[in-house]
A and B are shown apart, each in its own frame.
Chain A
Amino acid sequence: MAESFPLKKNLYSFFAEIGALSKFAARFFKELFSRPFEFKEFLRQCYQMGNKSLLLVGVTGFILGLVFTLQSRPTLEEFGASSWIPNMISISIVREIGPVIIALICAGRIGSSIGAELGSMKVTEQIDAMEVSGTNPFKYLVVTRILAATLMLPLLIIFGDFVALIGSALVENIKGQVSFMLYFNQVFSALGFRDLLPATGKSFFFGFAIGLVGCFKGYNSSKGTAGVGRASNSAVVYTSMLLFIIDFIAVFLTQLIYG
């Protein structure tokens, strides 16, 4: 029956996946507040996700700021508005481009790594071994990773935004003879809480989505090496989609609140 209606089958599997993901998220919140707390593993994951992503985020942020300023400068110069570059770049980066680009980079770096790691642990029975040794693998592997991703992503985004602004300031310093002091004075006068708060708020949700989907795909990966590959790949694809949906909702809510 389902074979003759592929659309129906796809819709069914899509909603089944959403349902399973929601159940997985509900289990995360349930296990998050119950003892024992795997604090050591949580710190290890923070280090793995935070510290080890710094270089990638830093380089991406720097190039982002550099390129964005280089591309915007000629057009703004044409209209005699080059003095607005620091304001425009800082608001664009802090509000939207920084969080989204860095979250996408982290979806590739962190989401795929979680999906592949948990997937291979499942295939090689390491998750079963953990359960048999009296450890709740969901708590030890999933809760710690989702929590670490949720807390580390805002920090990585703040770091990435800052490096992007340094890249932008460098271009302005070389091309427009604007001092770093003047550049950052303009940046800080342009930015307000209505820029920083929504951006930081949504970056927590970005981190949660990266951790949740990566863990869900890895923890439920099918047997075999192909299953691990699929888990890793679909973790990135679904997370990327989810990031844009979260971004849309965040922007919509921000507009509602701040007008």
Chain B
Amino acid sequence: MDSMTAEPTSSSTPKGKPVIRIQNLHKQFGDQVVLKDFNLEMYENENLVLMGKSGSGKSVMIKCLVGLMEPDSGTIEVLGQDITKLDRTQMDELRAEIGFLFQGSALYDSMTVRENLEFPLRRHTKRMNIKDTDELVLEALENVGLARTIDLMPNELSGGMQRRIALARALILKPKIIIYDEPTTGLDPITAKEIIELMTSVQKRYKTSSMIITHDVDCARVISHRMILLLDGTNYAQGTFEELSTSEDPRIRAFFK
């Protein structure tokens, strides 16, 4: 196993306090072990990229992280709270601090773009009046350059536009952490580049900490402060893009070919 596994190298050690800390996470389905004593720390204002082969446990890990799946064992601390010990109400409150961009955008088909953006807003800010809601929705759409689509239905938008609207929805509560699940998958190279630029500007503007799951090496190169490579359910190697991409380990090099 690569020597970078134990501790991040000095050049890649991020500043700030940890916003996510996962310790000894274990998850299996039947006899198939998906995550095996998985450990991870993500720091304030950091862009952490997770790469791994399909089936390496990335999606399961982020689903455990937002409470969509229960881990078999281990602890997951998000913003100082162990999510395995939270009840539903506490978890929902914590979720307001976490934005999630789904791989397929996951916009609600039966709602307009406006209603899609209002949905999390109404859940977490019940006393907000209509004018405030409208302003926030418009601001979020302007941030992704799609204010004109406010009254359209998701099926009237292109894949790239849907991804941007989904990003606007993930950002509307101004979360401290954003999780991107393969944000450029299925997009053409130009739209993918636009999404990456948008993610970079979002990080700068809102000072968010971002966890990005991707297979896209270009995306990882542009956006990552630090990278973790998952192999067989474990944190196989971590470091900066430069450190990992120049590694001698053939299993690490395979990710960058």
Q: Which A residues contact B (CB, under 8 angstroms)?
A: 117, 120-121, 124-126, 128-136
Are B106 and A134 in contact, with the CB atoms below 8 A?
A: no
Knowing A133-B119, A134-B95, say if A126 contacts B100 (CB, 8 Å).
Answer: no
A124 to B102, CA, bound (A): 9
Q: What residues of chain A lie closer than 8 Å to B93, measured between beta carbons?
A: 134
Interface assignment of B17: CB less than 8 Å from any CB of chain A: no
Chain B residues, Cβ within 8 Å of A120 = 109
Contact partner, A126, options B88, B92, B103, B108, Cβ 8 Å = B108
Distance of A111 Cα from B93 Cα, bound (Å): 34
7 A-B pairs closest in CB distance = A129-B106, A134-B92, A133-B120, A125-B106, A132-B100, A134-B95, A134-B123
- In the bound complex, what is the Cα–Cα distance between A130 and B119 (angstroms)? 9
For residue A56, give the distance in angstroms from its CB to the closest CB of chain B.
20
B124 within 8 A of A: yes
B124 contacts which chain A residues (CB < 8 A)?
134
Residues of A within 8 A of B95 (CB): 132-134
Selected from B92, B96, B98, B108, the residue in CB contact (under 8 A) with A129 is B108
Assuming A125-B104, A126-B109, A129-B106, is B68 touching A134 (CB within 8 A)? no
Complex CA–CA separation, A120 to B108 (angstroms): 10
Of residues 39 through 79 on chain B, the ones whose CB sits less than 8 Å from some CB of chain A are: 63, 66-68
Question: Please, how many angstroms separate the alpha-carbon atoms of A134 and B104 in the complex?
Answer: 19
B residues lining the A interface (CB < 8 Å): 63, 66-68, 88, 92-93, 95-96, 98, 100, 102-104, 106-110, 119-120, 123-124, 169
A128 touches B106 (CB 8 A): yes
**Residue pair B98, A132 in contact (C-beta under 8 Å):** yes
Report the bound CA distance from A65 to B98 in whole Å. Answer: 57
Complex Cα spacing A89 to B95, Å: 58
Q: Are A128 and B68 neighbours in the complex by a CB distance under 8 Å?
A: yes
B121 CB, nearest partner CB in chain A, Å: 9
B88 → A minimal CB distance (Å): 7
A125 touches B119 (CB 8 A): no
B103 touching A136, Cβ below 8 Å: no
B67 neighbours in A (Cβ, 8 Å): 131
Contacts of A128 in B (CB 8 A): 63, 68, 102, 106
Q: Is the CB of A136 within 8 A of B68?
A: no
Chain A residues positioned under 8 Å from B119 (CB to CB): 130, 133, 135
Among candidates B98, B103, B110, residue contacting A125 with C-beta atoms closer than 8 Å: B103
Given contacts A131-B68, A132-B95, whether A124 and B100 have CB atoms under 8 Å apart is: no
A129 touches B109 (CB 8 A): no
In the complex with contacts A133-B119, A134-B120, A124-B96 CB distance below 8 A = no
A133 to B108, CA, bound (A): 12
Most buried by B among A117, A120, A130: A130
Known: A128-B102, A129-B100, A136-B88. A121 touches B123 (CB 8 A): no
Task: For the complex formed, measure the closest distance between the CB of A128 and the CB atoms of chain B, giving whole angstroms.
Answer: 6
Residue of A nearest to B98 (CB): A132
A133 to B172, CA, bound (A): 11
Given A130-B108, A132-B98; 19 other pairs, CB 8 A cutoff: A120-B109, A121-B109, A124-B109, A128-B106, A129-B100, A129-B102, A130-B119, A131-B67, A131-B68, A132-B66, A132-B100, A133-B120, A133-B169, A134-B96, A134-B123, A134-B124, A135-B92, A135-B119, A135-B123
Instruction: Determine the chain B residues whose CB is within 8 A of the CB of A126 once the complex forms.
Output: 106-109
Collect the chain B residues with CB atoms within 8 Å of residue A117's CB: 110
Q: Among B63, B106, B169, which residue has its beta carbon within 8 angstroms of that of A124?
A: B106
Q: In the complex, how many angstroms separate the beta carbon of A223 from the nearest chain B beta carbon?
A: 12
B63 contact set on A, CB distance < 8 A: 128
CB distance from B91 to the nearest CB of A (A): 8
> How close is B20's CB to chain A, nearest CB, in angstroms?
15
**13 A/B residue pairs, CB under 8 Å, sorted by A:** A117-B110, A125-B103, A126-B107, A128-B102, A129-B108, A132-B66, A132-B98, A132-B100, A133-B123, A134-B92, A134-B95, A134-B123, A135-B119
> Which residues of chain A come closer than 8 Å to B123, judged between CB atoms?
133-135
B residues near A133, Cβ cutoff 8 Å = 95, 119-120, 123, 169
CB distance from B68 to the nearest CB of A (A): 6
Which residue of A is nearest B121, CB measured?
A133
Minimum CB distance partner of B123 in chain A = A134
